[in-house]
Amino acid sequence: MKNAKAIAGILAILSITVFLLVLFTHKHPQEKPHTSQTEKLSPSPVYPKNASTSLEKNAEDSDGDADNLVPSPPDSRLLEEVRNWGKTPIVFYGKVVDEKSQAVNDALIRYSTTDLSPEGRTMRETRSSSDGTFSIQHVHGKNLVVRVSKAGYYEYQDARRGFQYAGPGDHFVPNKDKPEIFRLRKKEKQAPLLTRQKLFTFPTDGSFHSLLLFKALRKEGNLSDADIVVSFRRDQTQPRGSQSWSLLLQVPQGGGLIESHEEFMFLAPETGYQTNVQLGASRSADVEKQYYLRLPNNEGYARLKMTFIPNYNETGAMDLDYAINPTTSRILESDEKKWYDVISKSQGAIELVLRHKPEPENTP
């Protein structure tokens, strides 16, 4: 009996001890501080994009309580490193050439540096010398962006490029003996063109459809007045998105297509045209192509930029951007002051009309 009472007493003491331990060691949620209306409208502190804060550490210490996630100021050493990026000396050597790799004199060089200025970027200009070269020195920043242009020239895509001098990643190393090349294309012979953009859709059963480019129309069947005949077939038995497909392009009556990878398609080739072009793939990904077109019956030349979408709702689709020279000339560089327009006539007929850009009025 005495033993039972002793055991009961020991258990009671243990229970009280456990209760007291739990009471004094339990972490109560912190009370949220009162936020005035003015404080609510104040912006949160903004730190550099790559500057780390102790937010992650607070998250670990908060036991999942999101209210404890209070960002602390970024590491001062990292801030100093970011400032030093803007102080990095920039030296750059470039050269401007035309489509024939000939030097371009007096080209305008616009360049910007990301730096410690109030705007975070400084714009400057210089000019290329008689041999096409130019240099950039005595400036500072993390990045350099260079753009080259000149009146009477087109800009290639690589006429605007960026170079990194500081920060994470690889840094650009200038080489005076091997300057960076920037290309421009001289404006030459131009001609008035008819320009159109149209989205054509096609059923997936392989049937033939005729494109009438001057009218920007699609008609069923292989018609005698077609500029391009199209046949599209898609395997409907396969899962959507992975269906194989094929596209046939035909240019009748002496016409043809030549694929091009030129950035400026300004002069159609004289020979080498194919009557039939076959495209296809084992999955439903869009395809982008460029072609020179010799129209049927020697009705002119055109340049085409085509995006084919094999899975366009329940059909296939061809987004076609094209420019036609309706004469026998192969020039496909657009005249900036003249162009052709289409006027619809009775019974589906059309008429090409040459338009002129109005001359500016002389003001006293």
Whether 216 shows a pLDDT value over 80: the answer reads yes
Asked if the structure places residue 132 within a domain, the reply is yes
Verify that 116 and 234 share a domain, yes or no: no
pLDDT: is 32 or 7 the higher one?
A: 7
Asked if the structure places residue 29 within a domain, the reply is no
Burial of 196 (C-beta count, 10 Å sphere; 0-12/13-18/19+): middle
The torsion angles phi and psi of 49, rounded to 5 degrees, stand at -55, -40
Residue 29: band (very low, low, confident or very high) from pLDDT cuts 50, 70, 90: very low
Return the structure tokens found at 71.
């960002």
Verify that 268 and 158 share a domain, yes or no: no
What mean pLDDT comes out for the span 142-171? 96
Verify that 245 and 147 share a domain, yes or no: no
Lowest mean pLDDT among 11-25, 171-185, 189-203, 290-304: 11-25
pLDDT: is 223 or 71 the higher one?
A: 223
Verify that 154 and 214 share a domain, yes or no: no
Whether 338 shows a pLDDT value over 90: the answer reads yes
Verify that 178 and 240 share a domain, yes or no: no
What mean pLDDT comes out for the span 46-52? 41
Question: Which pLDDT tens digit goes with each residue over 99-138?
Answer: 999 999 999 999 999 998 999 999 999 999 999 999 999 9
Asked if the structure places residue 70 within a domain, the reply is no
Return the structure tokens found at 41.
């409208």
Verify that 258 and 147 share a domain, yes or no: no
- pLDDT for 361 equals 73
* Percentage of the chain modeled with pLDDT above 90: 66
**SS3 breakdown of the chain: % helix, strand, coil, rounded to 5?**
15, 40, 45
Asked if the structure places residue 350 within a domain, the reply is no
Asked if the structure places residue 8 within a domain, the reply is no
Distance CA(126)–CA(108), nearest Å, equals 6
Tell me the residue range of the domain where 224 lies. 199-333
Asked if the structure places residue 3 within a domain, the reply is no
What mean pLDDT comes out for the span 23-30? 41
CB 94 within 8 A of CB 180: yes
Question: Which pLDDT tens digit goes with each residue over 293-329?
Answer: 999 999 999 999 999 999 998 899 999 999 999 999 9
Asked if the structure places residue 72 within a domain, the reply is no
Q: Which residue, of 161, 186, 211, is where some domain finishes?
A: 186
DSSP structure class, residue 264: S
Question: At 133, which CATH number?
Answer: 2.60.40.1120
Verify that 226 and 329 share a domain, yes or no: yes
**C-alpha dihedral sign at 63, 74, 163, 151:** positive
- pLDDT for 45 equals 39
Geometric angle at alpha carbon 193, from 190 and 198, rounded to 5°: 140
Verify that 135 and 250 share a domain, yes or no: no
What mean pLDDT comes out for the span 83-98? 95
Whether 32 shows a pLDDT value over 50: the answer reads no
Distance CA(56)–CA(51), nearest Å, equals 13
Torsion of CA 127, 133, 139, 142, to 10 degrees: 110
Asked if the structure places residue 47 within a domain, the reply is no
Total number of domains constituting the chain:
2
Verify that 227 and 324 share a domain, yes or no: yes
- pLDDT for 364 equals 57
Residue 74: band (very low, low, confident or very high) from pLDDT cuts 50, 70, 90: low
Burial of 280 (C-beta count, 10 Å sphere; 0-12/13-18/19+): middle
Verify that 115 and 145 share a domain, yes or no: yes
Q: Which residue, of 186, 214, 235, is where some domain finishes?
A: 186
Verify that 203 and 310 share a domain, yes or no: yes
Question: Which pLDDT tens digit goes with each residue over 239-249?
Answer: 877 789 999 99
Q: Which residue, of 154, 186, 218, is where some domain finishes?
A: 186
Helix (H, G, I), strand (E, B) or coil at 148: strand
Helix (H, G, I), strand (E, B) or coil at 9: helix
Whether 6 shows a pLDDT value over 90: the answer reads no
Verify that 182 and 224 share a domain, yes or no: no
